[in-house]
Amino acid sequence: MSSRKLVVEADGGSRGNPGPAGYGALVRDAVTGEVLAEVAESIGHATNNVAEYRGLIAGLTAAAQIDPSARVEVRMDSKLVVEQMSGRWKIKHPDMVPLALQARDVADGLGPVSYGWIPRNRNAHADRLANEAMDAAARGEHWVRKVEETPGEPEPPPSSPGPSTSTPSWAPPSGTPMTTVLLRHGETPLSTEKRFAGTGDVPLTANGVAQARAAALALKDRGLGAIVTSPLSRCRATAAEVAAVTGLDVRVEDGFRETDFGEWEGLTFAEAGKAWPAELKAWLADPEVAPPGGESFAHASRRVRTALDKLKVRYREQTVLVVSHVTPIKLLVRDALGAPMTALYRMHLDVAALSSIDWYADGPASLRAFNDVHHLET
C-alpha cells in the first residue's frame, strides 16, 4: 500500500434544482497542499444531488489516476453525499443509487477512503470550478476542464487558451467582488541591472524603499481590509511601508513568492543565454519548461492559484493588497483575463507598480488596472 495521502475536494450544483448543472473537483497532495489535478464539467439539466455525486466520482477517478493505492480524504460541503457515502444515511432516492454505487466502485480501487463535511467557504476552489461548469450549462454548452499532473502525462500545450475544451464567454457578474490590489515590490540591486531575481532574498535599494513609501501613500485611502505578502524580504519590506500608513497587519502567503529561477538566479539574460543557450530558448518558448534547477511558470501558476483561492475564502468581498513579484502578478492577470500562458511573455511590469483585479463569486474576474506607476512620478 502506498504511504501517499491525497485530498479530494468536490462540489456540484444546479441553477434551479433541477436546472443547468455542473460539477468541479480537484486533488491535492495532503502534505504540500499542491493541486495535482482539476476536473469540471457541465452536465446539462440535473439536480444538485446528481451534480454533487458526479463531482465526487470525478474527484475519486482523478485521484486513482494519480496513485491508485493512495489513502484518500474526501472533503465536500454536501452533508447528504458525505453521510450517505460514509454509510450513516440510507440512500432513498432511486436516482442516487447508481451514482453512489459508481462512486464506491471507484473508491474500492483506491487505498482507504474517508469522507468529511466542510463548510462551503472552505470548499471555494471546487465551488469555483462547479460554477464555471454551471455557467456553461446555462449557455447550453458542453464544457469540460481537465488538468492532471501525472507521470508521463503532460498538461495541455501553452498555446491553447486553457485547459477547457470550450472557453466560456463573458457574462455580467453580480454581487460584491473580492478585490486584489497587486503591488510589485520596490527596486532591488538585481532589478536595476535586469537580472533574474527569484527566490534569492535580495533587499530593497534606498530608492526601492522610497518607491514603497510612495505606493503606501497612494494606497492609504483605498479601503484596504488586509495586506498579504510574499515571504521574501523585498516584498515584506514593501508591505511594511503600507502597513505603517494603514495600521493593518501583514500576513505572509508563501504561494505568492517569485518563481525559482534555479541556476539563473542573479544572472542577466545575456549571461544565462551564453551558458545555457538551448535551455533559455526552450524556456522562452514554453511555460512548461523550467530553468536548470528551477521552477516552470506552469508549476508556479498552480501554487499562485491555490494562494488566490485562500484569499477568496478568507477575505470574501474585501479589498486585499497582495505584495508580490513579476511572475505571480502576471499569472493572476492572466487568470483573470482567461488568457493563454504565453501571455506572460507579452506583459511588462515595473517595480512598485500597482494593478487591480475584481474577483466575483458568480462571474468572471475583471481587470481594473495594470502597471500603474503614477504614484512614482515626481
Active centre residues (catalytic): 185, 258
DSSP structural state of residue 195: B
Strands of 5-14's sheet, edge to edge?
Answer: 113-117, 71-76, 5-14, 19-29, 35-46, 144-148
Which grid coordinates are listed for 152?
Answer: 508521463
Per the rule left: phi > 0, alpha: psi between -120 and 50, beta: everything else, 247 is left
* Pairing relationship of beta strands 178-184 and 226-229 according to DSSP bridges: unpaired
Residues near 192 by beta carbon (within 8 Å), at least 6 away in sequence: 205
Distance between CA atoms of residues 201 and 4, nearest Å: 32
Closest to 179 (Cα-Cα) out of 305, 308, 307, 306: 308
* The Cα angle at residue 234 between residues 218 and 304, in degrees rounded to 5: 85
- Is residue 327 a contact partner of residue 297, using CB atoms and an 8 Å limit? yes
Distance between CA atoms of residues 186 and 180, nearest Å: 18
234: number of Cβ within 10 Å? 29
Q: What is the four-CA torsion angle of 126, 128, 134, 140, rounded to 10 degrees?
A: -120
Which grid coordinates are listed for 248?
Answer: 493593518
In the chain, which residue ranges form alpha helices assigned H by DSSP? 48-66, 79-85, 96-108, 124-138, 189-192, 206-219, 233-246, 269-275, 277-285, 297-314, 326-337
